[in-house]
Amino acid sequence: MGQLVYLNGRLTARDEANVSIYDHGFLYGDGAFEGIRVYGGNIFRLREHVVRLLRSARALDIALGLTEAEIISAIAETARANHHTTGYIRVTVSRGDGLGLDPSHLTSKATIVISTEQLSLYPKEMYETGLTVITASTRVPPACCIDPQIKSLGRYVNNIMAKMEANRVGAGEALMLNMEGNVAEATGDNLFVVLGGVLVTPPTSQGALPGITRATVIECAEEIGIPFRESTVTLYDCYNADEAFLTGTAAEVIPMVRLDGRSIGGGAPGSTTVRLIEAFRRRTTVEGVRV
């Protein structure tokens, strides 16, 4: 049997899984999503991802019609049906079908899709040598327009444009600034820097998504005794950091060794970064839901 996809309450063959051309997510980016990792049969921090999805849907006023437990069960069932013990799980929801911006035009309930895939964001060697990064001219939307805590479909157009900027100059990733000129995040990752022995990451109020991997790294830092604080981060801070790295579900934890033509620290992954990568990897096999 080929790959199966969960679509609106049932598992169906991937090639037969279709959504309407009038789906609000397709037409207007009116929806939310989550990316989740499976490590050795362990769906890492599944509940945390589902809770964030439900919060995004609630903020967008999208009624999913499923409880937290039902969504967790559907994700685990989809992974098991595909024998998906290592890889990526994508959960996408939209408001439903209907042409026109007004939600009163909708003719269906929310669309819910769960799929499994293999996803490698960066070549393996970059985790050992580190990423070259640029600063994108594309800014993150201000929180007064759309709260960065909402992992919405439409918001990621800006992130895609910033990623294209990085691609054009052969960089591995791009940092995105907020409207005040402070660093918010990378195109799909949170940013951490090490300044004077202290681990620092921008608060979500600066435009950063409250990443699940971000939270895990903060816990790892506390566990192994690395001083930590949330604080505004500027490009000046990044250029003068002792170390820097990015975190995300797809990216995991990856060193950032060069930014806008400047070497960060010694131009190679630093000791704090390496310790946190090791601590993060230890957690991935013990926290979550078994497939």
The CATH number given to whatever domain includes residue 83 is 3.30.470.10
Q: Which of 72, 95, 117 is the last residue of a domain?
A: 117
Q: Is residue 207 one of the residues assigned to a domain?
A: yes
The confidence score (pLDDT) of residue 289 equals: 79
Q: Quote the tokens at residue 192.
A: 């951490």
| Percent of the chain clearing pLDDT 70 (strictly above) | 100
Q: Which of 117, 148, 177 is the last residue of a domain?
A: 117
Q: Which of 92, 117, 142 is the last residue of a domain?
A: 117
Query: Which residues have CB under 8 Å from 22's CB, separation 6+?
Result: 97, 98, 99, 107
Pairing status of strand 228-230 against strand 183-186: unpaired
Are 135 and 260 in contact, with CB atoms under 8 Å apart? yes
Low-confidence ranges of the chain (pLDDT < 50): none
The confidence score (pLDDT) of residue 1 equals: 57
Query: Which residues have CB under 8 Å from 219's CB, separation 6+?
Result: none
Does residue 74 sit in the same domain as residue 151? no
The confidence score (pLDDT) of residue 120 equals: 78
Does residue 70 sit in the same domain as residue 205? no
Does residue 151 sit in the same domain as residue 277? yes
Does residue 151 sit in the same domain as residue 193? yes
| DSSP track, 33-64 | EEEEEEETTEEETHHHHHHHHHHHHHHTT---
Q: How many domains does the chain have?
A: 2
* pTM of the full structure: 0.93
CATH code of the domain containing 198: 3.20.10.10
Give me the domain span that covers residue 39: 4-117
Nearest to 190 by CA among 142, 141, 149: 149
The active-site residue, picked from 109, 124, 151, 163, is 151
d(CA 223, CA 210): 20
Angle between helices 271-284 and 212-223 (to 10 degrees): 110
SS3 for 280?
A: helix
Does residue 252 sit in the same domain as residue 139? yes
The confidence score (pLDDT) of residue 122 equals: 85
Q: Is residue 289 one of the residues assigned to a domain?
A: no
Q: Is 109 designated active site?
A: no
Q: Read off the pLDDT of residues 32-42 as tens digits, 9 standing for 90 and up.
A: 999 999 999 99
Does residue 90 sit in the same domain as residue 152? no
Does residue 140 sit in the same domain as residue 243? yes
Does residue 75 sit in the same domain as residue 159? no
Q: Read off the pLDDT of residues 250-267 as tens digits, 9 standing for 90 and up.
A: 999 999 999 999 999 999
Q: Is residue 82 one of the residues assigned to a domain?
A: yes
Q: Which residue has the tokens 């310790």?
A: 275
The confidence score (pLDDT) of residue 290 equals: 80
The confidence score (pLDDT) of residue 170 equals: 96
Does residue 182 sit in the same domain as residue 266? yes
Does residue 172 sit in the same domain as residue 233? yes
d(CA 80, CA 245): 33
SS3 for 147?
A: coil
Q: CA torsion 182→188→190→195, rounded to 10°? A: -70
